[in-house]
Amino acid sequence: MQVVLEEESLRDGLQAESRLFSLTEKMEIVRLLAEAGVRRLQLGSFVNPRSAPQVANTDVLAALVRRQYPDLLCTALVLNEKGLERAVRSGLNHLSMSISVSDTHSLHNSGRPAAEALEAMAELIARATSEGLQVRAGLQCAFGCVTDGAIDEAIVLAAAARLAAAGASEINLADTTGMAGPHQITSMATKVRKAHPEVEVSLHLHDTRGLGLVNIYAGYEAGVRIFDVAAGGLGGCPFIPGATGNVATEDAAHLFQGMGVATGIDLTLFCRVVDYYEALLERRLPGRMNRALQGATTGKDACAS
């Protein structure tokens, strides 16, 4: 595989949805994803089930998927010690941990300013890696925050250095608010890669302002080879007009296919995942390629409304 697309629809995608997905439905999604060639996926979050009922079944889901699909690289989001204990019990050996580099966003999300959250996360990473787990450390709002505005590159670089030193094997730069542009992606990805050749650098991009695919392309050109994506472009908040989610997996797979870069994903098979989500959610998702391919097979103009 020349590029790894990490499927985030079950975590980032569904966290914005009010319809709760059952274990059976999630297992069907995993089956469809695996059949379409997805090899790495984020299954959910080990957070308080009362505040996030959508991911309350992550423990059972992780254990089941690990058993039935031993070849998949499965990961889940962990934000604190309790979450780490649950992750260990579920049998996952790859975890995603994440903090925000924006103070306001960090306070809102974790109840702590960014610097405090960074230290707590570094300790958690050190603990997880000492138990033999692999950790990807995410920096949310790395390219700007809707409330705090631009985030200084030096802050992001210092946070990346702290988390790499704590033992993270991958630094995930997240454009949580969809504010990044390609030049920012190029600059930041290049600097983090140069400063930490020992860690992987991955990108988590939201398509809120329509620059998702352009940013993926910029990241690829800057040497990034792992990108977070979600089927159909799931994610974002359905209550904010115009807000959209992650870059659609099928659109990213199509981009790389056109570039002759292998992702392992079969586009036609992948569209079954999008169809399944659309049937359960009873609405069309923003990703383009499912619609384009449907138009191609039915002979209808996919652009007609």
12 or 250: CB nearest Zn ion: 12
Tokens 């995942």 belong to 273
- DSSP for 134-163, please give it: EEEEEEETTT-BTTTB---HHHHHHHHHHH
Identify the bridge partners of residue 248 per DSSP, sorted by sequence position.
230
* Active-site entry in 74, 145, 237, 303: 237
Show the tokens assigned to 124: 């958690």
Catalytic residue check, 237:
yes
Alpha carbon 54 to chain centroid, angstroms: 16
Nearest-approach distance from CB 301 to Zn ion, in angstroms: 32
User: Which residue in 12, 103, 250, 251 binds Zn ion (CB under 5 A)?
Assistant: 12
Nearest-approach distance from CB 303 to Zn ion, in angstroms: 28
**DSSP SS3 for 175:** strand
CA-closest candidate to residue 102, choices 144, 137, 154, 158? 144
7 or 12: CB nearest Zn ion: 12
Nearest-approach distance from CB 204 to Zn ion, in angstroms: 6
The answer to whether residue 175 forms part of the interface with Zn ion (CB under 5 A) is: no
12 or 103: CB nearest Zn ion: 12
Q: Binding residues for Zn ion, how many (CB under 5 A)?
A: 1
Nearest-approach distance from CB 166 to Zn ion, in angstroms: 22
CA distance 216 to 225: 10
Helix axes 81-90, 114-130, angle to 10 degrees: 30
Segment lying near Zn ion (by CB under 5 A), choices 4-12, 28-36, 61-69, 100-108: 4-12
Segment lying near Zn ion (by CB under 5 A), choices 12-20, 74-82, 117-125, 156-164: 12-20
Nearest-approach distance from CB 16 to Zn ion, in angstroms: 9
| CB proximity list for 85: less than 8 A, separation 6 or greater | none
Q: What is the DSSP letter of 17?
A: -
Nearest-approach distance from CB 176 to Zn ion, in angstroms: 6
In our burial notation (b when 16+ CB lie closer than 10 A, e otherwise), range 157-191 reads bebbebbbebbbbbbbbbbbbbbbebebbbebbbb
83 or 235: CB nearest Zn ion: 235
6 or 12: CB nearest Zn ion: 12
64 or 151: CB nearest Zn ion: 151
Provide the binding-site residues for Zn ion, judged by CB under 5 A. Answer: 12
What are the catalytic residues? 237
